Amino acid sequence: MAWFKRKTQGILTSRDEQIDVPEGQWEKCPKCSHILHRRELAEHARVCPKCGHHFPMTSLDYFRLIFDEGRFTLHDQHLTSADPLEFVDRKPYTVRLEEARRQTGLNEAAQRATGTVGGHRISAAALDFRFIGGSMGSVVGEIVARAIKTAYTERIPLLIISQSGGARMMEGILSLMQMAKTAALLTRLDEARLPYISLMTNPTTGGVTASFAMLGDINLAEPGALIGFAGPRVIRQAVGQDLPPGFQSAEFLREHGFLDDIVDRRQLRRYLIHLLDLLLESGAPLPETPSSS
């Protein structure tokens, strides 16, 4: 062996210390850089056990987390968006829809379900950010509306889990009118004295924040969630000033009275059960829904 060839390895660089892992089985926490196996992450409700960072979670996984024994009934899965405006930006809207369906296995950015939480039957809707940013178009608005109507008709509590970039620009005014549509139906729910719990996750912005997400009788959020109307960058450009530290974070909003509480996802099911017990007075029936005049 030549004298200049090392028999032992010298100083390790950061690249030398990197560990190759099978692709798709591990995730790196963006907050603490801890490497987590997906199975371990799933066991902790997709929350980093080291630092508490909340990873994104799908709409169906939220349902599995909160409903008793993970059992629930899905509704309106056949609803799909049309393209009445024949909208095209970098690609046709119809192509975006098809790509989102193929990548997520969902027909739309919202799912709705009924089931029991701690023995209490509820109507629930959940948005899914994987599907075109969880944006609210005509079908998402209709699914949320039907979740509200089910709560009203059956006289049961309503839970909506928001995770959205806002109104879906590809549907123009048809998207924006969903804000008024859902808000009006929530007014009927309020008049019927039926409880509505809103859970805002990261991110909840735009037209979703400006409509049903902020209209809960009890407004909750996950730790660190970005919640607001326009994004921080847009606001900074508009006002020409630096924003307060943590502006639009769940913690900032709770401190300033916009949220009732921040709930760790690992405690969410237990928290909801306790909340429903209080709201329903340990099983007392809800008041009769007044007939519409």
Is 48 known as a binding-site position? Answer: yes
Q: Report the SS3 class of residue 27.
A: strand
Q: Are 91 and 70 within 8 A, CB to CB?
A: no
Residue at 179: amino acid letter: M
Is the pLDDT at 3 greater than 60? The verdict is no
Q: What is the pTM of this model?
A: 0.88
Each residue's pLDDT tens digit, 141-171: 999 999 999 999 999 999 999 999 999 999 9
Q: Are 200 and 176 within 8 A, CB to CB?
A: no
Is 90 known as a binding-site position? Answer: no
Q: What is the pLDDT of residue 292?
A: 46
Q: What is the pLDDT of residue 18?
A: 53
Each residue's pLDDT tens digit, 201-254: 999 999 999 999 999 999 999 999 999 998 778 888 888 888 888 889 999 999
Q: What is the pLDDT of residue 234?
A: 82
What is the residue extent of each domain of the chain? 23-55, 57-279
Residue at 200: amino acid letter: M
Average the pLDDT over 41-58 and give the result: 97
Is 20 known as a binding-site position? Answer: no
- Render 147-212 in DSSP notation, one character per residue: HHHHHHHHT--EEEEEEE--B-GGGHHHHHHHHHHHHHHHHHHHHTT--EEEEEEEEE-HHHHTTG
Tell which residue, 107, 178, 171, has the closest CA to residue 147: 178
Is 146 known as a binding-site position? Answer: no
- CATH code, residues 57-279: 3.90.226.10
Per the model's pLDDT, the better-predicted residue between 17 and 78 turns out to be: 78
Q: What is the pLDDT of residue 293?
A: 42
Tell which residue, 142, 137, 139, 145, has the closest CA to residue 167: 137
> How far is Cα 253 from Cα 83, in angstroms, rounded to an integer?
36
